């Protein structure tokens, strides 16, 4: 082969290898330009997603929420099939070790007992234990609170539980306040009562799959700044039912 042609060939190969190397180096950053987080579809999670969209926008990253059954969402986040979870309580961490908590609450969960055409005189877990109760599968706070209770109906969708309550086939639901308030706002739901006080109040945290460990300090810093400035409270205050 002509020496000049060989030099051109070698230089061309070097350029190609350089480009491949540069692309490989840039791949993680490119992959983090858009992230997908699982969530169970509740109003509470949708509100938390608005907080996260603002925080990630400040990092130049767009995000979206992928709605699915709550238990499946956790499994997909743990397995890296989505990039993480919109919001969860800390109690998931033992069972899902590949999820990394961002240690700034993005919301809070208030678990409330909802009844139809009745009201609880005393809202305690002892009183709730006597009820024919409905909870959503994958709502870990509800699963923990009702563990060992004899008369609990567990379904993957809250709307199915609501039908059973309205038909009188359940005494009450244990659900988050945001979802309960959104149901009360619908026409024809005058029978519903949120029994006070809530049986549980816990902070909710955003979780990343550990493949995104490098993002943890960055998104923690943005959420911390938003918390300290009152921006998280402002976003949640603008979208919560009044």
Q: Which domains does the chain have, with CATH numbers?
A: 32-108+203-239 (3.40.190.10), 110-201 (3.40.190.10)
pLDDT-above-70 percentage for the chain: 85
Rounded to an integer, the average pLDDT of 103-127 is 95
The pLDDT tens digits of the residues spanning 166-192 come to 999 999 999 999 899 999 999 999 999
What's the pLDDT score for residue 43?
Answer: 83
Contact 73, 140 (CB under 8 A): no
What's the pLDDT score for residue 22?
Answer: 36
Q: Which residues of 12-50 are buried (b: 16+ CB within 10 A; e: fewer)?
A: eeeeeeeeeeeeeeeeeeeebeebebbbbbbbbbbbbbb
Q: Write the DSSP symbol of residue 60.
A: T
Nearest to 155 by CA among 177, 145, 168, 170: 170
Rounded to an integer, the average pLDDT of 79-90 is 97
Which residues, listed in sequence order, are joined to residue 209 by a DSSP beta bridge? 99
Torsion angle defined by CA atoms of residues 227, 229, 231 and 237, in that order, rounded to the nearest 10 degrees: 90
The rounded distance, in Å, linking the Cα atoms of 236 and 183 is 18
pTM over 0.85: no
Weakest-pLDDT range from 10-14, 111-115, 122-126: 10-14
In this structure, the number of other CB atoms found within 10 A of the CB of residue 201 comes to: 13
What's the pLDDT score for residue 21?
Answer: 37
Residue with tokens 């024919």: 132
**88 vs 40, higher pLDDT:** 88
User: Which tokens sit at 227?
Assistant: 């918390």
């Amino acid at each position: 082969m002509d020496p000049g042609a060989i030099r051109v060939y070698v230089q061309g190969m070097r350029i190609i290898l350089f480009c491949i190397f540069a692309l490989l180096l840039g791949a993680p950053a490119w992959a983090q330009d858009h992230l997908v987080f699982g969530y169970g579809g509740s109003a509470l999670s949708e509100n938390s997603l608005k907080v996260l969209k603002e925080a990630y926008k400040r990092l130049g990253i767009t995000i979206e929420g992928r709605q699915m059954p709550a238990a499946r969402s956790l499994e997909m986040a743990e397995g890296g099939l989505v990039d993480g979870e919109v919001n969860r309580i800390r109690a998931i961490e033992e069972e899902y070790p590949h999820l990394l908590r961002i240690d700034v609450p993005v919301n809070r969960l208030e678990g409330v007992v909802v009844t139809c055409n009745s009201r609880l005189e005393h809202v305690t877990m002892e009183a709730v234990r006597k009820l024919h109760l409905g909870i959503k599968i994958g709502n870990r706070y509800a699963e923990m609170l009702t563990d060992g209770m004899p008369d609990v109906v567990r379904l993957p969708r809250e709307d199915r539980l609501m039908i059973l309550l309205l038909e009188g086939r359940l005494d009450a639901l244990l659900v988050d306040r945001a979802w309960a308030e959104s149901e009360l706002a619908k026409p024809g739901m005058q029978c519903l009562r949120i029994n006070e006080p809530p049986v549980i109040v816990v902070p909710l945290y955003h979780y990343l799959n550990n493949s995104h460990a490098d993002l943890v300090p960055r998104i923690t810093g943005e959420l911390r700044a938003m918390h300290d400035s009152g921006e998280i409270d402002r976003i949640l205050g603008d979208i919560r039912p009044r």
